[in-house]
Amino acid sequence: MDRLTAMRVFTEVATGGSFRAASDKLDMSRAMVTRYVAEMENWLQARLLQRTTRRVTLTDAGEQALRRCQQMLELATLVEEETDSGGDTLRGQLRLTTSMSFGHAHLAAAIADFLALHPQLKVDMQVGDGALNLVEARIDLAIRISSEPDPLLIGRPLAVCESVLVASPSYLDRYGVPAAPGDLTAHQCLSYANFGKSTWKLSRGKENVSVGVPSRLSANEATVLLHAALSGGGIALQPTYLANAHLARGELLAVLPEWRPPALKVYALYMSRQHLPANVRALLDFLVERFKTVPW
């Protein structure tokens, strides 16, 4: 017995209250409808329907079976939608993960534009700076900023991520403007726990220096340090995708602008190139196009 079909037939009879109506709706003979319902009852070892000359009603067992059959049919439809790679229409659900700062600054808007192009697609975005096991978390795509992506994953570069030292005008008025990297040791520095927490590496042309910076405030999330810098809390090392708008408005000023931290890359990471779903491939291509032109 095709149990999924039997559940569909039983559900139509139960909700319509008629074998004839189910037969018409499913384009199936009434004898076949009766057979599927009987096979459902044999499978579950319970009488599901009370039949009279006028109507069909559910037994207590039938009410319970109907609820579960409806759930199973909904799940079957969802599985079909999410695994369907045929045709030009993207459907199903994508699960992404990214850092809070990049998600807030750029990826949320990018995903909104992508979804506008594909109205039958859904996206679930997990935001956080902690590492996730893509298999256990059922993540289709991880957007991460790194110099060395996980070698066990496939990494597709999306863009270069530059960084800059910044501070608010009020902080620099109060504590002075550093003239050389060594001057940073006398300043209040805001440290990013995941990137050069106590040592900042800077370069100018062929010159490279490492400066041990004092820090009274450190955080594992770049946006927190951005707002601390905006509030006059010190000098922060920030990705330009967060700092540029504030620099343009004069809310932040570049510190030692000729000295730059090492550039990183924005990667899209996924498990395997084999059997890559069409919706993941489409999103990858969209993001590559989106971030290939700076500024983004």
**pLDDT the model gives residue 59:** 94
Q: Which of 77-91, 128-142, 176-190, 235-249 has the lowest mean pLDDT?
A: 77-91
Q: How big, in percent rounded to 5, are the helix, strand and coil portions of the chain?
A: 40, 25, 35
The phi and psi torsions of 125 (rounded to 5 degrees) equal -105, 120
HSE on the CB side for 21, CA within 13 Å?
12
Which two three-digit tokens encode residue 52?
């009279």
What predicted TM-score, i.e. pTM, was given to this entire model? 0.66
Q: Where are the chain's structural domains? A: 3-83, 92-158+266-291, 163-262
The arithmetic mean of pLDDT across residues 203-215, rounded, is 93
**pLDDT the model gives residue 194:** 66
Over 90: is that where the pLDDT of 293 sits? no
CB 198 within 8 A of CB 176: no
**pLDDT the model gives residue 38:** 94
| Residue 2 banded pLDDT, cuts 50, 70, 90 | confident
DSSP classification of residue 84: -
Over 80: is that where the pLDDT of 295 sits? no
**pLDDT the model gives residue 195:** 65
Instruction: Report which of 177, 162, 174 is spatially closest to residue 253, judged by C-alpha positions.
Output: 177
Which two three-digit tokens encode residue 54?
């006028």
Whole-angstrom Cα distance, residue 68 to residue 49? 15
Over 60: is that where the pLDDT of 181 sits? yes
33-69: per-residue pLDDT in tens?
999 999 999 999 999 999 877 788 999 999 999 999 9
**pLDDT the model gives residue 83:** 63
Whole-angstrom Cα distance, residue 55 to residue 160? 69
Q: Please spell the DSSP secondary structure of 178-243, one letter per residue.
A: -SSGGGGGGS-EEEETTS-SSEEEEEETTEEEEEE--EEEEES-HHHHHHHHHTT--EEEEEHHHH
Instruction: Report which of 226, 200, 227 is spatially closest to residue 212, judged by C-alpha positions.
Output: 200
Residues 163-262, CATH architecture? 3-Layer(aba) Sandwich (3.40)
84-135: per-residue pLDDT in tens?
555 567 888 899 999 999 999 999 999 999 999 999 999 999 998 777 778 7
Q: Which fold has domain 3-83?
A: Arc Repressor Mutant, subunit A (1.10.10)
- 3-83 and 92-158+266-291 have identical folds: no
Which two three-digit tokens encode residue 265?
């890359």
Q: Which fold has domain 92-158+266-291?
A: D-Maltodextrin-Binding Protein; domain 2 (3.40.190)
